[in-house]
């Protein structure tokens, strides 16, 4: 398998112990660990260049602005985008809210429909529910196939001119199922709707080029791709960003301000009101540098191999149910499971005693949990720094949990 083992030395936290065991970090879908280069970039910014951006003529202000705008160019380049089509946001959630409020509120009307899928994260559902309330638009759903991929067989009946937005995830944070990106972007185009891709779990794990994707908007978070929390990105087609209203007003985002009205700075600045997260942007830039140096193809292949091993080893454990596609070509590396009738929170607690970090809960995907008729799952998720021995540790600990809970 693609051996990225040497990279582990770049991640200081992987050396620590938890509960007397070497940390086994299998919660990268929640947030990823950070390499030294990201920590150093942010530290260097604060130590030597800290100033506010776009405002001052002094040397530090110029350097800070160059670092902030340089980070924008790096992140845009990472997804094949033009630099001025990349808006820094607080994360995926904020980016999706910007689209919902900035585009949806100004373009939707009663009778319009917003098409989503049952596997969406709340970040790609609740903003649309709010906008539906304000505009009278209606939320409609695509259901799932038996393997928990999105069922697009009913698209022909659902697709009408009333569909104004199709908003969907590139990869489910619960089941790992990949979204039918091509089918849904083609569908959107065929009825004149806009397409919105939640890339929170896609962009960190596979090469993404917006010039090939065909979507109108893409949202993603730095912290899920080796970068810091508090920053993410909204990419949009130039004409869509022009059509979109700013959802926050304040400093930095204006062209002129009179007593009763204002005009906006050009995109992307019209969406970045106030002092932005400058150190975080610098860290985001360092994170995409790191990912680029490893190669997104290499990362995708590594995770695919690791996920295949995990699926095979986990399915050997009696009483264990995996929720998600078994076909590795239809999925990424978020693996949700249940062990008998043991509550997933208890599973996570037992695993933690062995130093293994997994997430348990509804994963902010309650409609999906309801669809699966379960309250929660335990979830292991992988990234470039994970190795097969960590899958072994997970499997061994789950066998222990079975015994502890009297599953024979």
Which residues have a catalytic role annotated? 364
Beta bridge partners of 197: 168, 218
Contact, 360 vs 347, CB < 8 A? yes
CB of 400 vs ligand C6P, minimal distance in Å: 25
State which residue, 124 or 135, has the beta carbon closest to ligand C6P: 124
Nearer to ligand C6P, 92 or 132 (CB): 92
Report in angstroms the alpha-carbon separations of 56 from 112, 255, 276, 345: 46, 17, 15, 50
Residue nearest to ligand C6P (CB): 173
CB of 359 to ligand C6P, least distance (A): 5
The CA–CA distances, whole Å, from 301 to 125, 205, 207, 289, 332 equal 30, 9, 11, 19, 10
163-169 and 113-117 strand pairing: parallel
Q: In whole angstroms, how close is the CB of 221 to ligand C6P at the nearest point?
A: 3
Q: How far is the CB of 184 from ligand C6P (least distance, A)?
A: 15
> In this chain, which of 28, 32, 33, 92 binds ligand C6P, going by CB under 6 A?
92
Contacts of 130 (CB under 8 A, 6+ apart): 100
Kindly state the smallest distance separating residue 59's Cβ from ligand C6P, in Å.
Answer: 34
Say whether residue 363 binds ligand C6P (CB under 6 A): yes
How many C-beta neighbours within 10 Å does residue 381 have? Answer: 28
Q: Which is nearer to ligand C6P, 309 or 364 (CB)?
A: 364
Q: How many residues make contact with ligand C6P (CB under 6 A)?
A: 17
Candidates 201, 336, 377, 397; binder of ligand C6P (CB under 6 A) is 201
Q: Closer CB to ligand C6P, residue 91 or residue 180?
A: 91
List, in order, residues 6 or more apart from 205 with CB less than 8 Å away.
171, 299, 300, 303, 332, 333, 383
Q: Which range of residues in 49-57, 85-93, 143-151, 342-350 is near ligand C6P by CB under 6 A?
A: 85-93
Site string for ligand C6P, 7-46 (x = CB under 6 A): ----------------------xx----------------
Per CB under 6 A, the list member of 23, 158, 301, 364 interacting with ligand C6P is 364
Could you tell me the smallest distance in angstroms from the CB atom of residue 92 to ligand C6P?
Answer: 4
176 phi and psi angles, rounded to 5 deg: 80, -5
Q: Take residue 108 and report the two structure tokens written for it.
A: 């939707």
Residue number, 123 or 401, with CB nearest to ligand C6P: 123
The size of the chain, in residues, is: 408
Q: Which stretch binds ligand C6P (CB under 6 A): 8-16, 62-70, 116-124, 281-289?
A: 116-124
Residues 6+ apart with CB under 8 A from 190: 159
Residues in contact with ligand C6P, shown as a per-residue x/- string from 258 to 287 under the rule CB under 6 A:
------------------------------
Contact map string, positions 169 to 198, toward ligand C6P, x by CB under 6 A: x---x------------------------x
Helix (H, G, I), strand (E, B) or coil at 178: strand
- Quick one: 104 or 112, whose CB is closer to ligand C6P? 104
Residue 2, Ramachandran bin (φ over 0: left; ψ between -120 and 50: alpha; else beta):
beta
Q: Which stretch binds ligand C6P (CB under 6 A): 121-129, 152-160, 303-311, 322-330?
A: 121-129
- Judged by CB under 6 A, the stretch of 151-159, 181-189, 252-260, 358-366 that binds ligand C6P is 358-366
Which of the ranges 38-46, 119-127, 206-214, 266-274 carries the binding residues for ligand C6P, by CB under 6 A? 119-127
With beta carbons less than 8 A apart as the criterion, state whether 365 and 172 touch: yes
**Residue whose C-alpha is closest to residue 41's, from 84, 73, 71:** 71
Burial of 6 (0-12, 13-18, 19+ CB in 10 A): exposed
DSSP bridge pairs for 405? none
Our CB check for ligand C6P shows the closer of 124 and 149 to be 124
Q: Which two tokens stand for residue 389?
A: 């021995």
Three-state SS letters, 214-276: CCCEEEEEHHHHCCCCCCEEEEECHHHHHHCCCCCCCCCCEEEECCCCEEECCCCHHHCCCCC
Q: Contact positions toward ligand C6P, by CB under 6 A? A: 29-30, 91-93, 121, 123-124, 169, 173, 198, 200-201, 221, 359, 363-364
């Amino acid at each position: 398998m693609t051996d990225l083992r040497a990279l582990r030395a770049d991640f200081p936290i992987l050396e620590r112990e938890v509960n007397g065991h070497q940390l086994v970090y299998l919660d990268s879908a929640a947030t990823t660990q950070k390499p030294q280069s990201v920590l150093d970039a942010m530290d260097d910014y604060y130590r030597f260049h800290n100033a506010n951006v776009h405002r001052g003529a002094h040397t530090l202000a110029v350097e800070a602005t160059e670092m902030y705008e340089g980070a924008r160019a790096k992140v845009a380049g990472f997804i094949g985008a033009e630099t001025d089509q990349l808006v820094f946001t607080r994360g995926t959630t904020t980016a999706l809210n910007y689209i919902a409020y900035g585009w949806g509120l100004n373009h939707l009307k009663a009778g319009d429909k917003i098409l989503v899928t049952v596997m969406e994260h709340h970040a790609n559902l609740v903003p649309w529910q709010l906008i539906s309330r304000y505009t009278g638009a209606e939320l409609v759903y695509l259901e799932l196939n038996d393997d928990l991929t999105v069922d697009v067989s009913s698209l022909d009946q659902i697709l009408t001119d009333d569909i104004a937005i199709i908003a969907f995830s590139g990869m489910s944070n619960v089941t790992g199922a990949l979204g039918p990106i091509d089918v849904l972007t083609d569908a959107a185009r065929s009825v004149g709707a806009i397409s919105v891709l939640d890339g929170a779990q896609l962009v960190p794990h596979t090469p993404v080029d917006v010039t090939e994707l065909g979507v109108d908007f893409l949202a993603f978070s730095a912290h899920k791709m080796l970068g810091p929390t508090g920053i993410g990105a909204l990419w949009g087609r130039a004409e869509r960003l022009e059509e979109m209203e700013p959802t926050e007003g304040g400093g930095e985002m204006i062209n002129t301000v009179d007593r009763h009205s204002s005009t906006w700075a050009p995109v992307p600045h019209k969406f970045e009101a106030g002092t932005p997260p400058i150190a975080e942007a610098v860290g985001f830039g360092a994170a995409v540098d790191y990912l680029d140096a490893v190669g997104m193809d290499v990362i995708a292949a590594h995770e695919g191999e690791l996920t295949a091993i995990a699926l095979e080893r986990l399915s050997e454990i009696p009483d264990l149910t995996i929720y998600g596609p078994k076909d590795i070509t239809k999925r990424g590396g978020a693996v949700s499971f249940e062990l008998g009738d043991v509550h997933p929170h208890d599973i996570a607690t037992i695993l933690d005693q062995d130093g293994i970090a997994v997430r348990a809960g509804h994963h902010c995907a309650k409609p999906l949990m309801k669809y699966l008729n379960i309250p929660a799952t335990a979830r292991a998720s992988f990234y470039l720094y994970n190795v097969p021995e960590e899958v072994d540790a997970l499997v061994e600990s789950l066998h222990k949990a079975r015994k502890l809970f009297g599953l024979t």
